[in-house]
Every structure is written in C-alpha cells, then in structure tokens.
Amino acid sequence: MIVQQQAEVKFWGTATSNSRVVVKPSWSKPVSVVADKDGKWNVKIRTPKASYTPLNITFDDGQAVTLHNILAGEVWVCAGQSNMEMPLQGFYECPVEGYQDAIATSGQMKGVRYVKIPAAMSAVPKDDAVCRWEEINPNSASYCSAVGYFFGRKLHEVLNVPIGLILANKGGTMVESWLDKDYLQHHTDEPTDSTEIAMKYPKDWLRPLLWGNGTFHPILNSTVRGIIFYQGCSNVDHNSSTYAKRLTELINQWRKGFHSSELPFYFVEIAPYNYGDAMGTVAAFIRSQQQEVANNVSNTVLIGTNDLV
C-alpha cells in the first residue's frame, strides 16, 4: 500500500455499532474514534515525508488488525476507458511497444505499486471495493495499466520516491458513464434509472452513471496527488458537442469528491485515428473540445498524441 506523503490521509472502516476504535500508526501518536450506529468510522492522520522505510498501522476495536509494509509517497489515479485500461501486456492482438523489456526490468522500480479497482456498475454510489495493492515486479507488471506503468516509472525516475497508482477505469465508457446522478438528471437527457439505462444502452460499457458509482466512487475516500485520464473515443459519435462541458463537470465532481479544488488533472488527447470517418473531422472536433477544457479549467494539462504517428 502507498499513502500520500505529508497529507491528512483518511482511514476508514467498520466496527461494532458505537464502539471505540483506536488507530495506532507507527509514525505518530495513536488516535481514537467512535463508530456510528451503523458501525462506520473514519479518521484523518497526518502522514510522514516520502520514504522507502516500511510503515505499519493498527486498528483496534477489541480485535486488532495491522496493515504492514506501507510506504509514504505520491499517489495518482489512472482513470478512463480502454486506452487507460490496457495492461502492459496489451490486449489480444494489440501489443504494447516495448512491453517485454518493461516487464523484465520492472523489478528495478523500488517502491512502485498499483491497485486495480474491479470494474463494476452500481445503481447507487459504493464506498468500498474488494481489491489489493500489488508491488510492481516481473510477476505483476503485466496486469498494470500500460499508461499508468510508464507514468509511474517516469515519476519514480524523476522524484525517487514511492509511487502508488490507483487504477479505476473501464473500456468503452463515455464521459457520461462517470458523471453523478444529480448532474445527469438536471443537465442531460440521459436516463438514470437502471432499467431505462439498460434499455437505451444494451452494450453495458456505454451506460451512464453506473460505472462512476461502482468503479470510481469507492476511491473517493482516498487522498491522492492527482488524476491522469484517457477517455474520449466513445464520445466521438455520442454527445460530442457537449463533451467539453461534461468533462469540465466531471473534473469539478472529482475534485469535490477528493476535497481538493485544484487537484491536478492531466488528460490525454484521443489517439490520431479516423474513428470510421474518412474525413477525420469527428475526431478533430473531440480534440478541439479537449483543448477547450485545457484552456479554461485551471490546473489541467492536455497531453498531445498527434506527434506519435
């Protein structure tokens, strides 16, 4: 596990209703909190400066549980659709250039870890997901997001601190797939009832609302340094005229969820492909919408891709 360095990091869990939970971090004094009537509790603890020295933390409500091998470093979210989801080993008949060398040498990256949030739909926002942190090495690197891997490798090379990657993505999703119910109901004509959503979108990866509820909402209790985002292809022929407005709203929603109004948001220009349009104008329009967001939303950066081909 990687925790964001030098930050007020939230730890949360469940215990017996109204019980006292004592939280004992190895790097600071113990703190206690009382669980609510549903047994839910959370507490914020200041984390130390980034280091490769392992930390531990114990949660005790009468039955102690200890997490070991925690590192303080830089934590980033890797979100989007299939271009972000694609693992380092590639998809079927779609390899990642240089992946064999990357996997073979991945063990040299001391303290780089990732956690993959299971891609799941939900009619209501979920607070937790069943997942686990993995140390990046030749046995695990194949399954890490390729974009996330190379981003994490560069951060590690430049900063020389532990790096944590939270992978929360789903191939084929639209920007609407990640927006919340309130916005979709009041500012779009997208359905928000699960049955109506399924009727309009037989292909589940296109469904609005549900992926954000089930795949992204579980990480909003986390404390992170920023977000990298690679999405847009599925909006080339769907609601393209409102893409800039809706992506701006998504950035605002996620910043609010992470309690960070200027949280860095770095997003990738859609790949230079014609998307079934021989003239190439539909893709150019989405790229212009992406540039509009970069021009008007603070602390965002658009990473160009047209120079890669």
pLDDT score, position 276: 85
Spans of all domains in the chain: 8-69, 72-308
Q: Which residues contact 211 (CB under 8 A, 6 or more apart)?
A: 119, 120, 121, 170, 173, 177, 178, 205
Q: Decide: 135 and 144 in contact? Cβ < 8 Å.
A: no
What six digits make up the tokens of 39? Answer: 């047994």
pLDDT score, position 308: 81
pTM: 0.96
Strands (E), the chain: 2-4, 8-14, 20-25, 31-34, 40-46, 51-60, 64-80, 112-116, 133-135, 163-169, 226-230, 265-268, 300-303
Q: Which residues pair with 12 in a beta bridge?
A: 42
Q: Which residues pair with 71 in a beta bridge?
A: 2
The label of the residue with tokens 């860095």 reads 264
Q: Decide: 67 and 45 in contact? Cβ < 8 Å.
A: no
The label of the residue with tokens 């359905």 reads 191
Q: What are the residue ranges of helices labelled H in 258-308?
A: 281-296
pLDDT score, position 121: 98
pLDDT score, position 102: 97
Cα–Cα dist 204/210, whole Å: 9
What CATH number should be reported for the domain whose range is 72-308? 3.40.50.1110
Number of Cβ within 10 Å of residue 106's Cβ equals 21
- 265-to-27, 116, 255 alpha-carbon distances in Å: 30, 19, 9
pLDDT digits (tens), the chain, 309 positions: 999 999 999 999 999 999 999 999 999 999 999 999 999 999 999 999 999 999 999 999 999 999 999 999 999 999 999 999 999 999 999 999 999 999 999 999 999 999 999 999 999 999 999 999 999 999 999 999 999 999 999 999 999 999 999 999 999 999 999 999 999 999 999 999 999 999 999 999 999 999 999 999 999 999 999 999 999 999 999 999 999 999 999 999 999 999 999 999 999 999 888 888 878 788 999 999 999 999 999 999 999 998 887
Helix, strand or coil, per DSSP, at residue 114: strand
Cα–Cα dist 224/213, whole Å: 19
Number of Cβ within 10 Å of residue 297's Cβ equals 16
For the chain, how many helices (H) and strands (E)? 8, 13
Phi, psi of 77 (to 5 degrees): -95, 135
- CATH label, 8-69, candidates 2.30.140, 3.30.360, 1.10.3470, 2.60.40: 2.60.40
Helix, strand or coil, per DSSP, at residue 249: helix
Cα–Cα dist 203/209, whole Å: 14
Polymer length of the chain: 309
pLDDT score, position 68: 98
pLDDT score, position 277: 84
